Structure 1
Amino acid sequence: MNVVRATLQCLGDFKNLEHQFLDGNTSTGIVGLAPNTQEPFTGTMWEITGPLENGFFTFRCLGHIQNPDHRFLDGRTQDGLVSLVHTTEEPFTGTMWEQIEISSGVFILKCQGHIHNQEHQFLDGRTQDGFVSLAPTTGEPFTGTRWSIKAFPF
């Protein structure tokens, strides 16, 4: 099992410098896209752990506000919402993610929530408006399902 610190940049086709990097707000639990990885967007740094025994990965937000209620990236496969939750344990099964490398350093992240819903599977950043949710497919028009993951030393 590896643990790395990394940023995730959304590679959606619609280029918008205001909405690029996966950003967890550890104060509120909201996940969106930030324009950069500098202050005040400290939630753009993530601790990625895995592969775990089940082969999946977890993403812990390293935002500077230390709120234990909002730490782990969670996809809700029942309704497609994405937020930060306090644990990777039950009932938060959407905190487990499959990393699918489609080219060097470019990944698709598939949520492993126990409710299998074909409409809500893949982490999708909407570079038009900064919204992050789960998409049904990685094909058009869901180009925000591609992520560049850049690791940094601890």
Structure 2
Amino acid sequence: MKQMVGLAGVFAYLSLLTIGGGMAAYPEMKTMTVSIYHWLTADQLVRLYSLGQMAPGPNMMMIAGIGEWVAGPTGALVATLAFFLPTALLTLWVGRVWERLAGWPWRASIQRALNAVSIGLLLAGVVAIAKAAVTGWTGAAIAFSVFAILTATHMNPLPLMALAGVAGAFLFR
């Protein structure tokens, strides 16, 4: 029962940090799940996060995997509900209030500030996952190459993921 309360508390808290997307919560997720609660290792978290990025549907469904790792199917359900329910209810409430404030002079300023906050949180998440996932010059070269190609061409990332998987099979044995 203590594990369930811990899962619910951690993921309800993390749900409130997802301004700009799930990557925004990654640094704190790492702190909570790896450093404080010791539910996972940093490597396990990166692998679960990577699976969530590649799987169809919302990428943050990977939190169900963490919940399952910690406390089985019930843990998966608790983590998922704790992660999605608070932000769903908060979004519903804020959306209604936001409509009433349509003519409020501070509204545009708040939106611009939240844009900057979401970019900062997203970049912090990218740096945190890169520190754990990119090991050595080979991994850095693959990551930089994929970044450069996607930035220059805006191509579908699926072929690059397949190519990186093949390269990894040969380069990281």
**TM-score scaled to structure 2, two decimals?**
0.25
Flag the structure with higher strand content.
1
Flag the structure with higher helix content.
2
Larger-Rg structure: 2
**TM-score scaled to structure 1, two decimals?**
0.27
